[in-house]
């Protein structure tokens, strides 16, 4: 009785039973299956089956509402006939509905077991305009096109679209086929005007066609890539089989995989990584027995082991840097202050262009150890690149890979050794490079030292640019004059002239004795080396600006002590100055002052050498002859000209010096500088030569404890010279206590250690007369020399 209840209801003509749909829009003239499960919706379907009446299919505004009212339903729906009905075991009902026409809900009618509403049927206009026909024609073409892009579409559907002539029907059928949002379909259903509906469907269809075309292209490309990958895999497997048959299977897959992983971890720039992977592909295709295989494998190892990534930099602690410099070096206050300033700039501007420091000085004064201290202060790796004897440009830029045994240049090798792109790199002995037929290495060094260019430094072996802008370069040299001017222009020159005897003593007490004790297996209490013994080694067994030979002599003493301790003779060895003769032998050096006698015609000059300052004697004598000037002692051209100028000045001022003119007649003057095996040159011996000649012709000896330096002019002026500090330190080592120097070199005295300024007497010379008065000995002359002393 309950199942037949719906048949008792007879609905008015303008009232129909509704089926609310959550996500389905039914268009007129379209056949569509629906599924209903709610009680009222099932009652609507059963009523339609019993009464043979149509139903209304309408979309809910909110799909989550189970019992929608008028406000929850869209206003426009479709009247449909139930063509077929099937009830499932789970309680749901399936129906196939045929859309007839549109309707508009006016009000909900209560009192029925199903949802009923009074509706207004919406009739289609029978008149078809030309515009509508044109739109329908275009829509039909587009619909057929989209069906061709969809997979698995039956051919009958395309024929049905071709057979549909009414523009309104064509628009509804096409809209039902669109794969679009349900709200967009409802918008098309609510569009009553045929032309407007055709245009909207056409727009949506055109957009969907573009999407489908793009999707099809992507699918085709993906398919091609998959096919290409499969083809390459097949070819690789075939190639492996062929190589195995030919005996060329080297089993290098593991090496290739390791290189591939290393390239990924190296952190190269994208363009360089792409080029490296291209070379890796070449290696993969190459037989391992090929001679080029090992060369390419080595190249890839170099590329992966270089520090491409910039490591995280630690902040610079200036107080710690000062402590490191003080702990590692004694003295050198101006140099240490400049290094602290350098580090301060690095701290304030880490990514700025740091100046390139060049330490210039004799061997053994601590140039390399200063670079190591800078690296410790910065907490960066330190690497030393020795440039001594380099004469090939390829040593700097590397060899091209076309050559057998090609290798990167020294710069890239140093970076690989340091394993950090921001390391401290010391270019040692930069003045020992020389040009040859293989090129000029100093020219290649220009790019390395130029901050504007070194960010794209190109090594011939690598063949790709490498950024050197974060590397801190420090150069060392013994003689800066041997460095080419363009390279010198890119560096800041810092002079390290040498150490005084007191500084050497302090260095020995603080560093050298302990280092040599540990090197020879001695504890601190097993060997006591007195300060007097160290001072004697400095004065009597060494003659150098640095401390290398001094340290070697200390090592000899320590080995002697180690022998005595090892033999069990003594548990503690005490060595004083008196013991050195038995250990080191007789004294190697004596003070030239002790060998100097007050003879006329002999003066003591000062010279600068690459290993520090030195003293030299100027000896002059007269012999019968024709007025010639004889020069011996391997003098250079400049020194020969100084001798000629000195003799000319003596002759020109003979009357002022009370020298009879007859002394120059029929006399040859022989000027000799001992140590004749050593070449000598430079203008700074002019004053010493002039004084030696004046002493010779006036028969007045030169004060034996006076040394002098300076260039002489024909007007009798004393001109300034260089290397003052080195020369004065050499005079101090030789036991001389009075130095004559040009007045215009007074500023250089500030570079001397305080102990040297106090211990020595300096007389400043303006003219040759000042030199004569201060250097030549005669009654009352020595007392007047105090007028020139600097206090």
Distance CA(208)–CA(178), nearest Å, equals 8
User: What is the bridge-based pairing of β-strands 706-708 and 667-672?
Assistant: unpaired
Burial 671-699 (b: 16+ CB within 10 A, else e): bbbeeeeeebebbbbbbbbbbbbbbbbbe
Asked if residue 74 lies in contact with residue 65, where contact means CB atoms within 8 angstroms, the answer is no
φ, ψ at 440 (rounded to 5°):
-110, 110
Place of tokens 């008015």: 12
Helix axes 130-149, 167-177, angle to 10 degrees: 30
- Which stretch of DSSP H or E encloses residue 87? strand 76-87
Distance CA(96)–CA(45), nearest Å, equals 11
Cα torsion at 138, 143, 144, 147 (round to 10°)? 160
DSSP structure string for 174-226: HHHH----HHHHHHHHT--SHHHHHHHHHHHHHHHHHHHHHHHHHHHHHHHHH
Distance CA(83)–CA(85), nearest Å, equals 7
Q: Is 727 a catalytic residue?
A: yes
Identify the CA nearest to 105 among candidates 17, 23, 174, 173.
Answer: 17
CA distance between the termini of the chain: 138
Distance CA(559)–CA(583), nearest Å, equals 10
Distance CA(734)–CA(615), nearest Å, equals 8
Annotated catalytic residue within 185, 336, 504, 727? 727
Give the tokens for residue 198.
């055709």
What residues contact 521, with CB distance under 8 A and at least 6 apart? 562
Q: What angle do CA 534, 537, 542 make, to 5 degrees?
A: 135
Distance CA(593)–CA(703), nearest Å, equals 10
91: left (phi over 0), alpha (psi -120 to 50) or beta: left
Annotated catalytic residue within 168, 684, 695, 725? 684
Q: What angle do CA 588, 593, 599 make, to 5 degrees?
A: 130
**Long-range contact list for 753-759, CB < 8 A, 24+ apart?**
753/331, 753/500, 753/502, 753/503, 755/500, 755/502, 756/500, 756/728, 756/729, 756/732, 759/732
Burial 151-165 (b: 16+ CB within 10 A, else e): eeeeeeeeeebeebe
Identify the CA nearest to 60 among candidates 98, 91, 105, 100.
Answer: 105
For 392, the 3-state DSSP assignment is coil
Q: Using the Cα atoms of residue 736, residue 741, residue 743 and residue 744 in order, give the sign of their dihedral.
A: negative
Asked if residue 328 lies in contact with residue 504, where contact means CB atoms within 8 angstroms, the answer is no
Place of tokens 């050498």: 609
Asked if residue 367 lies in contact with residue 496, where contact means CB atoms within 8 angstroms, the answer is yes
Cα torsion at 246, 248, 250, 253 (round to 10°)? -80
Asked if residue 150 lies in contact with residue 143, where contact means CB atoms within 8 angstroms, the answer is no
Q: Is 223 a catalytic residue?
A: no
Per DSSP, which regions of 576-696 are E strands? 602-609, 612-624, 629-632, 667-672
- CB atoms closer than 10 angstroms to residue 702: 25
List, by residue number, the catalytic residues. Answer: 684, 727
């Amino acid at each position: 009785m309950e199942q037949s209840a719906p048949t008792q209801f007879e609905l008015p003509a303008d009232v129909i039973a509704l089926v609310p749909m959550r996500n389905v829009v039914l268009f007129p003239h379209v056949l569509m299956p629906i599924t209903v499960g709610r009680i009222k919706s099932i009652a609507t379907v059963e009523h339609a089956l019993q009464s043979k009446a149509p139903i209304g299919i309408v979309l809910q505004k909110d799909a989550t509402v189970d019992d929608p009212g008028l406000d929850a339903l869209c206003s426009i729906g479709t009247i449909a006939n139930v063509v077929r009905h099937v009830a499932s075991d789970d309680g749901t009902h399936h129906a196939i509905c045929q859309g007839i026409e549109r309707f508009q809900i006016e009000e909900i009618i209560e009192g029925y077991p199903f949802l009923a509403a009074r509706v207004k049927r919406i009739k289609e206009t029978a008149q078809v305009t030309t515009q509508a026909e044109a739109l329908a024609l275009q829509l039909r073409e587009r619909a057929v096109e989209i069906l061709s892009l969809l997979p698995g579409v039956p051919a009958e559907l395309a024929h049905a679209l071709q057979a549909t002539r009414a523009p309104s029907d064509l628009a509804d059928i096409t809209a039902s086929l669109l794969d679009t949002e349900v709200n967009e379909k409802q918008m098309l259903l609510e569009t009553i005007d045929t032309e407007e509906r055709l245009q909207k469907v056409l727009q949506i269809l055109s957009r969907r066609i573009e999407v489908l075309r793009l999707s099809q292209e992507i699918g085709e490309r993906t398919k091609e890539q998959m096919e290409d990958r499969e083809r390459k895999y097949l070819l690789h497997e075939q190639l492996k089989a062929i190589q195995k048959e030919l005996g060329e299977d080297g089993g290098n897959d593991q090496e290739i995989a390791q290189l591939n992983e290393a390239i990924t971890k190296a952190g190269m720039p994208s363009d360089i990584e792409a080029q490296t992977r291209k070379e890796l592909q070449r290696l993969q295709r190459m037989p391992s027995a090929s001679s080029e295989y090992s060369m390419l494998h080595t190249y890839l190892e170099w590329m992966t082991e270089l520090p491409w990534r910039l490591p995280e930099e630690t902040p610079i602690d200036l107080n710690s840097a000062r402590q490191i410099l003080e702990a590692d070096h004694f003295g050198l206050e101006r140099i240490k202050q400049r290094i602290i300033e350098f580090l301060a700039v690095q701290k304030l501007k880490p990514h700025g262009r740091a100046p390139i420091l060049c330490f210039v000085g004799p061997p053994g004064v601590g140039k390399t150890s200063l670079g190591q201290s800078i690296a410790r202060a910065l907490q960066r790796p330190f690497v030393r690149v020795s440039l001594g004897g380099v004469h090939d440009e390829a040593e700097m830029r590397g060899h091209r890979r076309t050559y057998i045994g090609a290798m990167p240049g020294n710069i890239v090798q140093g970076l690989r050794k340091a394993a950090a792109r921001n390391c401290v790199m010391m270019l040692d002995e930069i003045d020992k490079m020389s040009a040859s037929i293989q090129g000029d290495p100093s020219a290649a060094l220009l790019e390395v030292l130029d901050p504007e260019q070194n960010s794209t430094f190109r090594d011939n072996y690598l063949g790709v640019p490498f950024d050197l802008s974060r590397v801190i370069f420090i150069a060392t040299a013994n003689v800066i004059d041997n460095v080419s001017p363009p390279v010198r222009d890119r560096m800041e020159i810092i002079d390290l002239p040498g150490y005084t005897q007191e500084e050497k003593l302090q260095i020995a007490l603080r560093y050298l004795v302990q280092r040599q004790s540990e090197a020879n297996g001695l504890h601190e209490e097993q060997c006591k080396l007195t300060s007097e013994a160290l001072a004697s080694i400095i004065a009597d067994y060494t003659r150098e600006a640095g401390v290398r030979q001094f340290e070697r002599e200390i090592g000899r003493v320590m080995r002697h002590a180690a022998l005595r301790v090892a033999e069990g003779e003594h548990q503690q060895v005490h060595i004083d100055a008196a013991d050195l003769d038995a250990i080191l032998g007789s004294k190697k050096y004596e003070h030239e002052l002790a060998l100097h006698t007050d003879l006329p015609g002999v003066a003591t000059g000062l010279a600068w050498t690459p290993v520090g300052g030195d003293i030299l004697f100027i000896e002059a004598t007269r012999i019968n002859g024709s007025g010639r000037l004889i020069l011996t002692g391997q003098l250079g051209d400049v020194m020969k000209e100084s001798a000629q100028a000195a003799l000319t000045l003596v002759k020109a001022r003979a009357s002022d010096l009370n020298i009879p003119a007859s002394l120059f007649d029929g006399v040859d003057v022989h000027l000799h500088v001992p140590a004749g095996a050593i070449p000598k040159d430079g203008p700074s011996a002019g004053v010493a030569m002039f004084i030696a000649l004046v002493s010779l012709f006036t028969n007045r000896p030169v004060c034996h404890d006076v040394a002098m330096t300076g260039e002489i002019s024909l007007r009798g002026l004393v001109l300034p010279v260089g290397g003052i500090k080195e020369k004065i330190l050499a005079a101090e080592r030789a036991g001389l206590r009075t130095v004559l120097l040009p007045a215009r070199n007074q500023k250089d005295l500030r570079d001397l250690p305080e102990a040297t300024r106090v211990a020595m007497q300096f007389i400043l010379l303006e003219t040759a007369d000042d030199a004569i008065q201060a250097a030549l000995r005669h009654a009352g002359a020595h007392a007047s020399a105090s007028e020139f002393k600097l206090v």
